[in-house]
Amino acid sequence: MTENFDDHPDAVDVRWWHDAVGYEVYIRSFADGDGDGIGDLHGLVERLDHIADLGATLVWVTPIYPSPMADFGYDVADYCGVNPIYGDLDVFDRLVAEAHDRGLKVVVDIVPNHTSDQHPWFVDARSGPDSDYRDYYIWRDPAPDGGPPNNWVSYFGGPAWTFDPASNQYYLHLFLPEQPDLDWANPAVADAFDDVLRFWLDRGIDGFRIDVAQAMGKDGQLRSNPQIGPWDDTAPRWQQWDAFDHRHDILQPSTLDIFRRWNKVVEPYDALLLGETYVFDAGDLARLLPGEGLHVGFWFELMHVGWSAQDVRNAIAAPLERVADRRSIGWALASHDEQRPPTRFAPAADDTQTGEGSRDGADLGRRRALALTTLLFGLPGLPVLYQGEELGLVDGEVSDERRADPVGADVTLSRDGCRTPMPWDRGPGHGFSTATDTWLPMGGRTDDDSAAAQRDDPTSSFSAYRALVKARRETPELLEPDLSWLDRDGETWPHVVAYERGSVVVAANIGSEPIELTGIDGTIVFSTAGRSGEFVDPTLEPADAVIVRR
């Protein structure tokens, strides 16, 4: 059975990000250039050749702004500066110039939903109800019982309101209390951010990754959300969030007005608006990508999907069916907020899908991650790798004593494992820093994990990912919006996810047995198993994927 998605009104204009491959740099953990144990801009400049060698063309850098680091930079105290631990504006300008010399676009994180409670705006706002910046934030009187104004909860757990005794009011924060939400209904906030965007655009950047893009606008009446399950403020944060139907705190129509305004600001610079559109319903993603606002929005379902052909197929198909211009979908398996794919896909103790030979769980996790990444790189849209994916890194080991993430009751719920420093070289410290103690431990890395060990090894993860990036960028059919599923019902090829892009077929075996792809012959463009030449034996082993030109 073949299913076509050719009735979508795909945009005809071609922008530079339509054939880009992204690479996320979590700045604290990428490379330390000054020896203080924390990654910085100096280190990033020194390691740009690694990203260019991989073949990526877009570098997204997480927040570098002055910040008290309650949430490691996502609590901004100054939108037009650089935190001294990362460098200064001069080294930032050098980063942009050096990146552009290598053909790399630079996209910086912008955090517009909230500021730090140490931002001068909020310091002033907290000084009293009549302060100049009071209405930059969302303040409300207590409910009749003295509690919060409504039942909204924080993404990080607990109520989304904190009481300010000095003014006898609550302020809203969808994240930590140290991250008060801005009131985007106030025109002064929008004007201030126009200036912030132009400040960085005038320095030569190529776009913004917009943090919490789905939540900037709020319901004007601040109505309570319908409760759909039991809420326990001691439960894990996602269970708390899922206890409510979020009708009024996120996905408000006013958010689209903000994006349309920003689109007009960035258009003269030919700059990208890349949204952290953290939703799990493809219809909601489509609502955030109307065409005249965000250029690309991430689809997060694949960061949580299990090792199941049906689940993977459905997770890919859902946004392709709903988003009008499929090139506006951002595809990723990993980020600085999620468990690394080789860890997530490593088999459990009772998992029988162990592949062939003596491959251990971590290696099978890597093969599964590469197979799924191959599926994503064959799709229309913007694929983005998270630093270390190209090295096949599993989550680093972080003890409870070294846990740094402000969320998560214990280390198993924290984001530290995916944030441990990059291993660059062989030997102690693995080239991340000259410091004896880094902000997070190296996490149990080995010499084989390092970029130095993998760069010239044709059998390494790095070589495989570099070949995959090259295949995408040199296969024009993979950049077009059309796509046809091959046997979507799974009857002919059980446990295989396969689709066709013109004369190119992309397929992955998500099962536990070898499967022959009957009727698929041609030239191998890319193979996770390292095969090349003609696809004369069209058999896929478990956790393998292939791109074939008929």
Catalytic residues: 211, 276
Task: Give 486's strand partners.
Answer: 2
Secondary-structure breakdown of the chain: helix, strand, coil percentages, each rounded to the nearest 5: 30, 15, 55
Q: Which amino acid is at 213?
A: A
Which tokens sit at 157? 């757990």
Burial letters for 505-519: b for 16+ Cβ neighbours within 10 Å, e otherwise? bbbbbbbeeebebee
Mapping DSSP to helix (H, G, I), strand (E, B) and coil, where does residue 18 land?
A: helix
CA distance readout (Å), 167 to 128, 139, 200, 316, 319: 6, 10, 36, 49, 45
Tokens 């010499």 locate to 447
Mapping DSSP to helix (H, G, I), strand (E, B) and coil, where does residue 539 land?
A: strand
253-266 and 187-201 are packed helices; what angle lies between their axes, rounded to 10 degrees?
30
Alpha helices in 244-360 (DSSP H): 253-266, 282-288, 309-322, 341-344
- Contact between 181 and 172 (Cβ < 8 Å): yes
Q: How far apart are CA 501 and CA 72, in angstroms?
A: 41
Tokens 């003890």 locate to 399
Q: How far apart are CA 389 and CA 500, in angstroms?
A: 26
CA distance readout (Å), 55 to 458, 462, 470, 476: 16, 11, 7, 16
Give, as one character, the DSSP assignment of residue 411: G
Q: How far apart are CA 381 and CA 379, in angstroms?
A: 6
Q: How far apart are CA 104 and CA 96, in angstroms?
A: 9
Task: Give 210's strand partners.
Answer: 110, 275
- Contact between 509 and 371 (Cβ < 8 Å): yes
Q: How far apart are CA 168 and CA 141, in angstroms?
A: 7
Residues 6+ apart with CB under 8 A from 406: 70, 71, 156, 176
